[in-house]
Amino acid sequence: MKLLARALYLRQLGRQASFWRLVTGQKCVWPRERCWASVPAFGTRIDFLRSRPCITRMGRIMRPDDANVAGNVHGGTILKMIEEAGAIISTRHCNSQNGERCVAALARVERTDFLSPMCIGEVAHVSAEITYTSKHSVEVQVNVMSENILTGTKKLTNKATLWYVPLSLKNVDKVLEVPPVVYSRQEQEEEGRKRYEAQKLERMETKWRNGDIVQPVLNPEPNTVSYSQSSLIHLVGPSDCTLHGFVHGGVTMKLMDEVAGIVAARHCKTNIVTASVDAINFHDKIRKGCVITISGRMTFTSNKSMEIEVLVDADPVVDNSQKHYRAASAFFTYVSLSQEGKSLPVPQLVPETEDEKKRFEEGKGRYLQMKAKRQGHTESQP
């Protein structure tokens, strides 16, 4: 009798789960306290772990429109997925306590390395975790794994750190306080505070030095900065925006990567892929109805890599009270690949003006600094 009663109980649970999925589009797993909820805008599933509310997982298969002509997934596509995962977990956390409702806005993305390429047909698994909170900001660590569903092979493709601030749904200019997280060790909070202070200082320095504008040049010579520099103009529509009516950080990063890719392709005229993105700083919000200009120019080339500076300027054409302003900036690094996917030498950049020569030396310094950091990390590993 006990076995029969249990069988009838499990059958009833199954009927409840089927009915729930039919009505809500959600798949519930019984009896574990975990469920998958569909996200139509992203075409993914988010894993809500009730025992660990500071973790979000999502994933989807890579389609042809996510990749370049060689089948490599655009870096901007991956950056957009990373930002969406970060926005979900940080918004959820900031609304975890009773109080004024808010949505988390992206303020900064730390340097992100693309460890291995992702291809059409592979599944991207994105996991995000909150690692630190200050009074008005949230640090989110995001990992991206690619899975070959034919062989079951998985590999780490990206690791990123993002910073968000909670903005009130009633007043977009009001930054709310962030609920604190509980750390398992005291060292975690201290290390997080150091990262917070470092990124805050760098954000201020970057904002002050990004005042110049990319100007077009007639009949430029090959391998010069002017020859490959590119711009993209985009009218911000409702599909680009959050509940507040300002642009998703992931949309901006995708456009920035697209422009940087055009610059790299024009310079070397081969298949190119994103190798890394230096810190992306979002200096100001971009509102719905703005016209944004995303400009890219090459700043430095090594033997096998290219550094491209990307600037995002916003023009609020429907608001006469606000002037043209710098919204975001970052440095992207690209590499050139052969048809077999092997790294190719890059044509050397020829800086002409004094400003171009100065930017070239600054880019060289960043390249050597990162190269030394990678070598030191390799030597420290057993």
How many CB atoms are located within 10 Å of the residue 197 CB? 11
Which residues are catalytic, by number? 68, 257
Residue 140 near residue 192 (C-beta atoms within 8 A): no
Q: Which residue has the tokens 């899975």?
A: 147
Tokens found for residue 380: 């420290």
Q: CB-based contacts of 96: which residues, under 8 Å, 6+ apart?
A: 53, 179
Structure tokens at 295: 């400009």
Rounded CA-CA distance 214/309 in Å is 10
Which stretches of the chain are assigned E, i.e. beta strand? 27-29, 34-39, 44-49, 55-61, 102-109, 112-114, 123-133, 138-147, 154-168, 230-235, 271-277, 280-282, 291-301, 306-315, 325-337, 343-344
Tell me the C-alpha distance between 108 and 19, whole Å.
42
| Residue 255, φ and ψ in degrees, nearest 5 | -65, -40
Amino acid type, 55:
I
